[in-house]
Amino acid sequence: MCDTCGCSITEGNRHLIDEGGKHEHSGAVEVLSNLLHENNHTAAHNREHFDRHHVLTINLMSSPGSGKTALLEATIEQLGKKYRIGVIEGDLETENDAERIRAKGVPAVQIMTGTACHLDAHLVHSALHDMNLDEIDILFIENVGNLVCPASFDLGQHYNVTLLSTTEGDDKPAKYPVMFRAADAMLITKSDLLEVLGDFDPQKATQYLRNLANPADVMTLSARSGEHIDLWIEWLNERFDQQQQRIADGATRRPAIQADEIALHAAR
Amino acid sequence: MHELSICQALVDQLEGIAAQHPGKQVIEVYLGIGPLSGVVPQLLNDAFSVARAGSCADAATLHIHESEIIVRCLSCGKQSPATANRLLCSHCGEWQTELVSGDELLLERVELEAFEQSGESSPAYH
């Protein structure tokens, strides 16, 4: 954020300042502030909180039913002894997902959003009051199943992981570019069904992701059969080590959502 | 759906600006929205008519400027227009590009006017 006014200068609007110096605050009418300024502010606060407690935070996003909770169950089985895992669950209604996670012996806080189609930084902040970050190494935030709205809201996470199940169609990244552009990793889930379905091509899905100029890692795996779960576990191990290194260096990481704003302000 | 949440955040920001200008109300609101912001301008417009009710922007008109998607190629360095699901360089075809514009979600400008002078009085502050 710009120190003087909280504005958001990006390449796309810099001309407003450069051409004729319109960015004057005589009447505070040239605002140039991100519409989600308040959410982003709280998200940055959440991120500081995670970093201070040496926590790696991962935001899982996907359509409903693509296997986010099943992935978490498999992850806990593999990594539950190595890391202290915590989960924040976002759903419109019910505690069902949090109960599935708790059954694995891991603390879970359920956020019930009512009619809201996404988690925001304020909801996550509130949930953190029910979670002891001193006792957590990796925090997963399972966002509301939705490939549209969650992409616009920074929660304070370090990475976005987007799931695409083989039952959905391999062109999802082309249909929902905002969501898949924000992914730091794309997991093609339910790989055990590939053979049965016959019409999902993981390479095509990867190509659609590359068309969004996204170099994110792609892993094709199955939480049910365990196929290639080791790739995901290795990815998490690496991200955890990188997070600890960043904290030692006094740095942090923010996913691709509106990253330009931050990058350009950092350069100012 | 999330357009309503975003409009509520917008109205909160407008309330903050109006509070700095006692006796004035917001009459014009200018936004810059990019296709990769994840927000649909028409839905934002519809949501604004709900969110502004009873606020300092009750009588405000929303103007949305939709920005173009422009990418810069990380290989050849040239800029080119692109579409939301094909952010490729149109010069050399490279997929590794960075976004120059197209994901904006900005409140650019607000115009205020004294209460009870609607219609003919000129907007304040230019």
Question: What is the ipTM, given to two decimal places?
Answer: 0.83
CA gap A218, A30 in Å, rounded: 42
Over 80: is that where the pLDDT of A172 sits?
yes
Three-point CA angle A44, A50, A51, nearest 5°: 90
Residue B106 located in a structural domain = yes
Residue B18 tokens, joined: 């109006």
Specify the CATH number for the domain of residue B62. 3.30.2320.50
Residues in A closer than 8 angstroms to B101, CB to CB, are 10-12
Burial class (CB in 10 A: 0-12, 13-18, 19+), A50: buried
pLDDT at A221: 98
Total number of domains constituting chain B = 1
Measured in angstroms, the CA of A105 and the nearest CA of chain B are apart by 34
Between A13, A36, A173, which is nearest B32 by CB? Answer: A13
For B1-37, the DSSP string reads -HHHHHHHHHHHHHHHHHHTSTTEEEEEEEEEE-GGG
Over 50: is that where the pLDDT of A69 sits?
yes
Dihedral angle, C-alpha A42, A46, A49, A51, nearest 10 °? -120
Q: Quick: pLDDT tens for B52-107.
A: 999 999 999 999 999 999 999 999 999 999 999 999 999 999 999 999 999 999 99
Q: Quick: pLDDT tens for A74-89.
A: 999 999 999 999 999 9
The position carrying tokens 């605050």 is A25
Identify the residue among A29, A38, A209 best suited for mutation to test binding to B, counting B beta carbons within 10 A and taking the highest: A29
Residue B52 located in a structural domain = yes
Q: Domain A41-248: give its CATH architecture.
A: 3-Layer(aba) Sandwich (3.40)
pLDDT at B33: 96
Q: Which residue has the higher pLDDT, A229 or B122?
A: A229
> CA Rg, chain B, in Å?
18
In percent, the amount of chain A with pLDDT more than 70 equals 85
Three-point CA angle A174, B39, B5, nearest 5°: 135
Between B10, B86, B126, which is nearest A211 by CB? Answer: B86
pLDDT at A177: 96
Give φ, ψ of B63 to 5 degrees.
-115, 125
For residue A97, give the amino acid letter. Answer: D
Q: How many other β-carbons are positioned within 10 Å of the β-carbon of residue A201?
A: 13
Measured in angstroms, the CA of B91 and the nearest CA of chain A are apart by 15
pLDDT at B114: 87
Mean per-residue pLDDT, A183-210: 97
* pLDDT category of residue A63 using cuts at 50, 70 and 90: very high
Residues in B closer than 8 angstroms to A120, CB to CB, are 5
Residue B49 located in a structural domain = yes
pLDDT at A24: 38
Are B101 and A35 inside 8 Å of each other by CB?
no
> Residue B62 belongs to what domain range?
2-68+101-114
pLDDT at A16: 52
Between A29, A38, A151, which is nearest B125 by CB? Answer: A29
Residue B90 located in a structural domain = no
CA gap A225, A247 in Å, rounded: 35
Over 80: is that where the pLDDT of A59 sits?
yes
CA gap A178, A198 in Å, rounded: 27
Measured in angstroms, the CA of A79 and the nearest CA of chain B are apart by 33
For residue B72, give the amino acid letter. Answer: R
Q: Quick: pLDDT tens for A39-52.
A: 999 999 999 999 99
Between B88, B106, B109, which is nearest A29 by CB? Answer: B109
Three-point CA angle B9, B13, B16, nearest 5°: 140
* pLDDT category of residue B115 using cuts at 50, 70 and 90: confident
Over 60: is that where the pLDDT of A19 sits?
no
**Lowest mean pLDDT across A14-23, A163-172, B107-116:** A14-23
* pLDDT category of residue A14 using cuts at 50, 70 and 90: low
Query: Helix A121-128 to helix A37-52 angle, to the nearest 10 degrees?
Result: 30
Residue B121 located in a structural domain = no
Eight-class DSSP state of A224: T
Are B106 and A34 inside 8 Å of each other by CB?
yes
> Domain map of chain A by residue range?
41-248
Q: Which residue has the higher pLDDT, A138 or A17?
A: A138
Over 60: is that where the pLDDT of B124 sits?
no
Q: Quick: pLDDT tens for A86-101.
A: 999 999 999 999 999 9
pLDDT at A31: 87
Mean per-residue pLDDT, A96-125: 94
Over 90: is that where the pLDDT of A13 sits?
no
Residue B85 located in a structural domain = no
Counting one residue from chain A and one from chain B, the pairs whose CB atoms sit within 8 A come to 131
Q: Closest by alpha carbon to B87, among A82, A182, A11? A: A182
